[in-house]
Amino acid sequence: MRTLLNIIWLLLCGLWMAIGYVLAGILCCILIITIPFGIASFRIAAYALWPFGRTTVAKPGAGAGSTIGNIIWIVFAGLWLAIGHITTGLALCVTIIGIPLGIASFKMVPISLMPLGVDIVSVDEVRPGAYEAR
C-alpha cells in the first residue's frame, strides 16, 4: 500500500514539492554560511518525493543552534515551502482518493518550517517509545 501511495504522491505533487526544496537548497548553498540549510533542504526533497513509510524523529543532540537556524529558515524559505504544502494538501483533499495524500502533505508542514534538529527515518526503524518530532 505504501508503494502505491508513494507512486500516486510522486505523480500528483511529490515531484513539484521536491523541486521546490531542491531550488531552496541550491539557493542556500550559494553562500557558505547557509550550506547547512541547503543540506537540510536536499534531505527534505528526498522525503517529499517518497514520504509514505518514513517519519521524522527529533535528534537527541539538537540544541540552541538548531533552534536559531530554524528561525532563520522560517523567514527565508520555510514559510513559502509550508504554504506550498498547505495549498497542495487542500487541493488533494478535494477528492476522496486524495484525502490520504492531503493528510500526508499537511504532516510535512512542520518539517518544512523547522528542518534542523530532525532526522527522517523509516517507520520500521523507529523504536517503541521514541520521540516522534512534531
Q: Which residue has the higher pLDDT, 130 or 109?
A: 109
Identify the pLDDT of residue 57: 84
Map out the domains of the chain as residue ranges.
2-122
Burial 70-107 (b: 16+ CB within 10 A, else e): beebbeebbeebbebbbebbeebbeeeebebbbebbbe
Nearest partner of 81 among 19, 3, 133, judged by Cα: 19
Average pLDDT for the chain:
86
pLDDT at 33 over 60: yes
- What pLDDT does residue 26 have? 93
User: Is the pLDDT reported for residue 80 higher than 60?
Assistant: yes
Beta bridge partners of 54: 122
Share of the chain above pLDDT 70, in %: 94
pLDDT at 134 (0 to 100): 53
pLDDT of residue 19: 92
Q: How confident is the model at residue 45 (pLDDT cuts 50, 70, 90)?
A: very high
pTM over 0.75: yes
- How far is 123 from 5, CA to CA, in rounded Å? 15
Residues 10-39 have a mean pLDDT of: 89
Cell numbers 500500500 correspond to 1
CB contact set of 61 (below 8 Å; sequence gap of 6+): none
- Predicted local distance difference test score (pLDDT) of residue 77: 83
Let me know: does 26 contact 102? Beta carbons within 8 Å: no
Segment 115-119 mean pLDDT: 85
**What separation in angstroms does the CA of 2 have from each of 6, 18, 60, 122?**
6, 18, 28, 12
Which pLDDT belongs to residue 133?
A: 54
